[in-house]
Chains A and B, each alone.
Chain A
């Protein structure tokens, strides 16, 4: 279980909104803090690692939560620059 400093809810949003909201939110964090992005768009599984790779932030974890009706993803991004 990864401990996040800030949580960002992007449920119901499709790509590219989760990434755009993440790029905005991460500016409010200080170096080393972890942002938890919650999304129900499956694309985030690949998109968030790709975004981190390109921007230089660190992807510290990815969780997939399956409940009866839907599946949500939690991406943990550490501000690294």
Chain B
């Protein structure tokens, strides 16, 4: 057994970040349209020089999971759930008119035709602009999602207190 000392104030570095304007977004949905809204606002705010944090919880975690990543839980109930609940930003369903994937494909074609970036591109843009991604540890545990099945760039894991401490200082706090 090894014990490591962690500097507790290190976790507060971002919270004490001097940028005046803060935006927090809770992404609970795993739908393509809603994830798009979240990342458009996140990239827009970051481009305006605001400090943006996106918290991923429940279905929202699917957007930051690697494609096809299933549950790594040891019990069969969560493994079954993992089989049904596939991750991947480019496989998100539409919240309406999904039509077993047909509606979503159509939407993706329309988006491409209109030179609109998809969710994976928007997410990469957000990361490049310095938007912070935080994954909810509780839902990760519930769904049997492990760190190694999340995309690169997601390196922060926290819970409700971290979100609230940030939202308290936020001028724009959204729940999508």
A interface residues (Cβ-Cβ under 8 A, vs B): 14-16, 19, 41-54, 59-68, 75
Contacts and interface: CB of A to CB of B under 8 A. Distances in A.
B3 interface: yes
Contacts of A46: 11, 134, 156-159, 161-162
Size range of the interface on B? 20 to 34
Contacts of B9: 49, 59
B102 interface: no
Please give me the 4 A-B residue pairs with the lowest Cβ-Cβ distance, nearest first: A15-B159, A43-B137, A43-B159, A50-B165
Contact of A42 (B2, B12, B157, B166): B157
Contacts of B156: 46
Contacts of A65: 1-4
Interface of B: 1-9, 11-12, 15, 134, 136-138, 141-142, 156-162, 164-166, 168
Contacts of B3: 63-66
A44 B60 CA distance: 21
Contacts of B8: 48-49, 52, 59-62, 75
A21 B24 CA distance: 26
B6 A15 contact: no
Contacts of A63: 3-6
